[in-house]
Amino acid sequence: PSLHFVTLIGSLRKTSINAAVARALPALAPEGVSISALGSVGAFPLYDQDLQEQGFPAPVLAMAEQIRAADGVIIVTPEYNYSVPGALKNAIDWLSRVSPQPLAGKPVAIQTASPGAIGGARAQYHLRQSLVFLDAFVLNKPEAMIGLAGSKVNAETLELSDSGTREFLSRQIEALAALARKVKD
Ligand code: FNR
Protein backbone atom coordinates (compact mmCIF):
# COMPACT_ATOMS: atom_id res chain seq x y z
CA PRO A 1 0.00 0.00 0.00
CA SER A 2 1.20 3.51 -0.74
CA LEU A 3 1.98 6.01 2.01
CA HIS A 4 1.69 9.77 2.18
CA PHE A 5 3.86 11.94 4.43
CA VAL A 6 3.63 15.67 5.08
CA THR A 7 6.46 18.06 5.99
CA LEU A 8 6.18 20.61 8.80
CA ILE A 9 8.79 23.36 8.61
CA GLY A 10 10.00 25.24 11.70
CA SER A 11 11.47 28.28 9.91
CA LEU A 12 9.51 31.18 8.44
CA ARG A 13 12.24 32.76 6.36
CA LYS A 14 12.18 32.62 2.57
CA THR A 15 15.75 31.39 2.13
CA SER A 16 15.57 28.89 5.01
CA ILE A 17 18.01 26.01 4.77
CA ASN A 18 15.47 23.82 6.56
CA ALA A 19 12.80 24.69 4.00
CA ALA A 20 15.37 23.81 1.32
CA VAL A 21 15.88 20.40 2.94
CA ALA A 22 12.11 19.86 3.11
CA ARG A 23 11.73 20.74 -0.57
CA ALA A 24 14.28 18.06 -1.45
CA LEU A 25 12.37 15.27 0.30
CA PRO A 26 9.68 14.37 -2.31
CA ALA A 27 12.44 13.40 -4.76
CA LEU A 28 14.17 11.29 -2.09
CA ALA A 29 11.13 9.22 -1.18
CA PRO A 30 11.19 5.51 -1.99
CA GLU A 31 8.73 3.81 -4.34
CA GLY A 32 5.21 3.98 -2.93
CA VAL A 33 5.82 7.02 -0.71
CA SER A 34 4.66 10.53 -1.62
CA ILE A 35 5.52 13.67 0.32
CA SER A 36 3.88 17.11 0.31
CA ALA A 37 4.33 20.26 2.37
CA LEU A 38 1.95 21.51 5.04
CA GLY A 39 1.14 25.23 5.19
CA SER A 40 3.41 27.66 7.04
CA VAL A 41 3.29 27.70 10.82
CA GLY A 42 3.60 31.49 10.37
CA ALA A 43 -0.13 31.54 9.56
CA PHE A 44 -0.99 30.59 13.15
CA PRO A 45 -1.64 33.37 15.70
CA LEU A 46 0.11 33.10 19.05
CA TYR A 47 -1.65 30.45 21.09
CA ASP A 48 -4.25 31.96 23.40
CA GLN A 49 -6.97 29.90 25.06
CA ASP A 50 -9.37 32.84 24.75
CA LEU A 51 -8.85 32.75 20.96
CA GLN A 52 -9.32 28.99 20.95
CA GLU A 53 -12.63 29.36 22.79
CA GLN A 54 -13.85 31.71 20.03
CA GLY A 55 -13.10 28.92 17.54
CA PHE A 56 -9.88 27.45 16.19
CA PRO A 57 -8.20 29.57 13.49
CA ALA A 58 -8.79 28.12 10.01
CA PRO A 59 -5.07 27.43 9.31
CA VAL A 60 -4.89 25.34 12.51
CA LEU A 61 -7.91 23.24 11.55
CA ALA A 62 -6.65 22.83 7.99
CA MET A 63 -3.25 21.61 9.15
CA ALA A 64 -4.79 19.29 11.73
CA GLU A 65 -6.92 17.72 8.99
CA GLN A 66 -3.93 17.28 6.65
CA ILE A 67 -1.92 15.64 9.44
CA ARG A 68 -4.80 13.34 10.34
CA ALA A 69 -5.07 12.25 6.71
CA ALA A 70 -1.32 11.61 6.38
CA ASP A 71 0.50 8.40 7.27
CA GLY A 72 3.36 10.32 8.85
CA VAL A 73 4.86 13.73 9.47
CA ILE A 74 8.43 14.87 8.82
CA ILE A 75 9.34 17.89 10.96
CA VAL A 76 12.22 19.88 9.45
CA THR A 77 13.35 22.67 11.73
CA PRO A 78 16.19 24.90 12.84
CA GLU A 79 17.43 24.97 16.42
CA TYR A 80 16.97 28.31 18.18
CA ASN A 81 18.90 28.86 21.39
CA TYR A 82 19.40 25.13 21.87
CA SER A 83 15.67 24.48 21.55
CA VAL A 84 12.59 24.47 19.31
CA PRO A 85 11.83 27.73 17.43
CA GLY A 86 8.88 29.57 18.96
CA ALA A 87 6.82 29.43 15.76
CA LEU A 88 7.05 25.62 15.64
CA LYS A 89 6.32 25.25 19.36
CA ASN A 90 3.33 27.55 18.90
CA ALA A 91 2.03 25.33 16.09
CA ILE A 92 2.45 22.23 18.25
CA ASP A 93 0.59 23.96 21.09
CA TRP A 94 -2.35 24.80 18.80
CA LEU A 95 -2.45 21.33 17.21
CA SER A 96 -2.34 19.70 20.64
CA ARG A 97 -5.70 21.30 21.54
CA VAL A 98 -7.59 20.14 18.43
CA SER A 99 -9.84 17.14 18.92
CA PRO A 100 -9.18 14.48 17.83
CA GLN A 101 -5.57 15.44 18.43
CA PRO A 102 -3.90 14.90 15.04
CA LEU A 103 -0.44 13.81 16.21
CA ALA A 104 -1.66 11.08 18.57
CA GLY A 105 -0.40 7.75 17.27
CA LYS A 106 1.16 9.46 14.24
CA PRO A 107 4.57 8.36 12.97
CA VAL A 108 6.93 11.38 13.03
CA ALA A 109 10.50 11.84 11.82
CA ILE A 110 12.64 14.81 12.85
CA GLN A 111 15.25 16.55 10.71
CA THR A 112 17.26 19.58 11.80
CA ALA A 113 19.72 21.60 9.73
CA SER A 114 22.14 24.21 11.00
CA PRO A 115 25.25 26.01 9.77
CA GLY A 116 26.75 24.87 13.10
CA ALA A 117 28.56 21.57 13.56
CA ILE A 118 25.98 19.80 15.74
CA GLY A 119 23.15 20.25 13.28
CA GLY A 120 20.42 21.17 15.76
CA ALA A 121 20.75 18.05 17.93
CA ARG A 122 19.63 19.83 21.08
CA ALA A 123 16.39 21.05 19.52
CA GLN A 124 15.57 17.48 18.52
CA TYR A 125 15.47 16.33 22.11
CA HIS A 126 13.25 19.21 23.22
CA LEU A 127 10.94 18.49 20.29
CA ARG A 128 10.81 14.80 21.21
CA GLN A 129 9.79 15.75 24.74
CA SER A 130 6.74 17.68 23.53
CA LEU A 131 5.85 14.87 21.15
CA VAL A 132 5.80 12.41 24.04
CA PHE A 133 2.96 14.40 25.60
CA LEU A 134 1.16 14.40 22.24
CA ASP A 135 1.60 10.61 22.06
CA ALA A 136 3.21 10.76 18.61
CA PHE A 137 5.31 7.78 17.51
CA VAL A 138 8.63 9.48 16.91
CA LEU A 139 11.13 7.51 14.86
CA ASN A 140 14.15 6.72 17.03
CA LYS A 141 16.71 6.03 14.33
CA PRO A 142 18.27 7.12 12.11
CA GLU A 143 18.50 10.62 13.57
CA ALA A 144 18.88 13.29 10.89
CA MET A 145 21.01 16.17 12.16
CA ILE A 146 22.46 18.10 9.25
CA GLY A 147 25.50 20.02 10.49
CA LEU A 148 27.57 22.51 8.49
CA ALA A 149 24.48 22.88 6.34
CA GLY A 150 25.80 26.06 4.75
CA SER A 151 28.04 23.89 2.61
CA LYS A 152 25.31 21.35 1.81
CA VAL A 153 22.60 23.65 0.54
CA ASN A 154 23.46 25.71 -2.54
CA ALA A 155 23.12 29.34 -1.45
CA GLU A 156 21.96 30.51 -4.88
CA THR A 157 19.60 27.77 -5.98
CA LEU A 158 18.59 26.75 -2.42
CA GLU A 159 18.90 23.12 -3.42
CA LEU A 160 20.16 20.37 -1.14
CA SER A 161 23.20 19.60 -3.21
CA ASP A 162 25.13 17.29 -0.88
CA SER A 163 24.75 13.72 -2.13
CA GLY A 164 25.69 12.07 1.18
CA THR A 165 22.98 14.04 2.98
CA ARG A 166 20.42 13.21 0.28
CA GLU A 167 21.21 9.51 0.59
CA PHE A 168 21.05 9.64 4.38
CA LEU A 169 17.70 11.43 4.35
CA SER A 170 16.27 8.90 1.92
CA ARG A 171 17.23 6.15 4.38
CA GLN A 172 15.42 8.00 7.16
CA ILE A 173 12.30 8.28 4.98
CA GLU A 174 12.49 4.52 4.38
CA ALA A 175 12.67 3.96 8.14
CA LEU A 176 9.64 6.22 8.66
CA ALA A 177 7.80 4.25 5.98
CA ALA A 178 8.60 1.00 7.80
CA LEU A 179 7.29 2.49 11.06
CA ALA A 180 4.16 3.82 9.32
CA ARG A 181 3.44 0.37 7.84
CA LYS A 182 3.71 -1.21 11.31
CA VAL A 183 1.37 1.43 12.77
CA LYS A 184 -1.14 0.84 9.94
CA ASP A 185 -1.27 -2.95 10.49
C1 FNR B 1 20.06 30.51 15.71
N2 FNR B 1 20.96 29.57 15.20
C3 FNR B 1 21.32 28.48 15.97
N4 FNR B 1 22.00 27.40 15.43
C5 FNR B 1 22.29 26.31 16.18
O6 FNR B 1 22.86 25.35 15.68
N7 FNR B 1 21.93 26.27 17.50
C8 FNR B 1 21.25 27.28 18.11
O9 FNR B 1 20.94 27.19 19.27
C10 FNR B 1 20.94 28.44 17.33
N11 FNR B 1 20.23 29.48 17.88
C12 FNR B 1 19.70 30.45 17.07
C13 FNR B 1 18.79 31.35 17.59
C14 FNR B 1 18.18 32.27 16.77
C15 FNR B 1 17.14 33.20 17.33
C16 FNR B 1 18.53 32.33 15.40
C17 FNR B 1 17.85 33.32 14.47
C18 FNR B 1 19.45 31.47 14.90
C19 FNR B 1 21.44 29.66 13.81
C20 FNR B 1 20.49 28.93 12.88
O21 FNR B 1 20.83 27.56 12.85
C22 FNR B 1 20.59 29.52 11.47
O23 FNR B 1 20.18 30.86 11.48
C24 FNR B 1 19.76 28.72 10.47
O25 FNR B 1 20.06 29.15 9.16
C26 FNR B 1 18.27 28.88 10.74
O27 FNR B 1 17.55 27.96 9.97
P28 FNR B 1 16.82 28.37 8.61
O29 FNR B 1 15.95 29.55 8.86
O30 FNR B 1 17.90 28.68 7.61
O31 FNR B 1 16.06 27.13 8.23
Ligand 1: residues whose CB is within 6 Å? Answer: 11, 13, 16-18, 78-82, 114-116, 120
Query: Would you say residue 170 has pLDDT above 90?
Result: yes
- How far apart, in whole angstroms, are the C-alpha atoms of residue 25 and residue 17? 13
What gap in Å lies between CA 152 and CA 11, rounded to an integer?
17
Q: What dihedral angle (degrees, nearest 10) is formed by the CA atoms of 74, 137, 149, 44?
A: 50
Ligand 1 centroid – CA 12 distance (Å)? 12
Helix, strand, coil share of the chain (percent; to 5):
45, 20, 35
pLDDT over 90 (residue 1): no
Banded pLDDT at 13 (limits 50, 70, 90) = very high
Closest-CA residue, ligand 1 atom 14, reads 80
- At 29-62, the pLDDT tens digits run 999 999 999 999 999 999 999 999 999 999 999 9
Q: Which of 7, 80, 84, 125 to mutate to test the pocket of ligand 1 (most atoms within 8 A of CB)?
A: 80
Helices (H) and strands (E) in the chain, counts: 6, 6
Asked if 143 and 5 count as a contact pair (C-beta separation under 8 A), the reply is no
